[in-house]
């Protein structure tokens, strides 16, 4: 499964990077995130437990996973490797491409589910479009809304 979810935000890349890097603050600013627990941190690397809701028509589907996060301020870029949960093994990357009037933000997800027989189908037709794209799209729309409304970027972001 490979997905790319993008949005254009009228802001400089570092402002958006600060939102992406501040995962511990996501539940405060992203209503679909139930919690993010910082389990360990060393420099720009974190181990986090994350939980979000995926609204699916009339039902809220809670999802939870563990990820190693790396914040790379000098590029800027944020990467995640899912180390636990149904999406174990998924690689995620937040990319920031400057434009004339802001930044194109893209969240890339790559996953090969190691489930016998149905792994490829489940990743491509269920996990990708119904969960990954939905949560990433909701995240990007909310970050855009906050930034363009003048909401300050989260404080305390480590590089």
If one counts the domains in the chain, the total is 1
Residue 159 placed within a domain = no
Contact 3, 108 (CB under 8 A): yes
Residue 143 placed within a domain = yes
Residue 111 placed within a domain = yes
Sheet of strand 59-72, all strands in order from the earlier edge strand to the far edge: 2-9, 102-110, 91-99, 77-85, 59-72, 45-56, 33-42
Residue 38 placed within a domain = yes
Contacts of 128 by beta carbon, 8 Å cutoff, 6+ apart: 1, 2, 3, 109, 111
Residue 110 placed within a domain = yes
pLDDT of 86 reads: 80
Domain around 94: 2-148
pTM of the full predicted structure?
0.87
The CATH number of whichever domain residue 75 belongs to comes to 3.30.530.20
Residue 84 placed within a domain = yes
Residue 157 placed within a domain = no
Contact 53, 32 (CB under 8 A): yes
Mean pLDDT per 10-residue segment, the chain (159 residues): 93 95 93 93 95 63 88 96 90 97 96 70 61 83 94 68
pLDDT of 154 reads: 80
**Residue tagged 């809220």 (tokens):** 60
pLDDT of 4 reads: 92
């Amino acid at each position: 499964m490979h997905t790319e979810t993008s949005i254009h935000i009228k802001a400089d890349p570092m402002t958006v990077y600060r939102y992406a890097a501040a995962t511990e603050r996501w539940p405060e600013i992203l209503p679909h995130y139930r919690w993010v627990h910082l389990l360990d941190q060393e420099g720009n690397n974190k181990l986090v437990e994350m939980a979000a809701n995926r609204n699916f028509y009339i039902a809220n589907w809670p999802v939870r996973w563990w990820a190693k996060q790396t914040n790379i301020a000098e590029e800027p870029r944020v990467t995640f490797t899912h180390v636990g949960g149904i999406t174990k093994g998924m690689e995620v990357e937040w990319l920031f491409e400057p434009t004339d009037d802001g930044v194109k933000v893209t969240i890339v997800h790559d996953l090969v589910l190691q489930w016998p027989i149905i792994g490829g189908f489940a990743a491509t037709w269920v996990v990708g479009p119904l969960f990954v794209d939905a949560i990433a799209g909701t995240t990007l729309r909310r970050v855009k809304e906050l930034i363009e409304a003048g909401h300050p970027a989260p404080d305390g972001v480590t590089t």
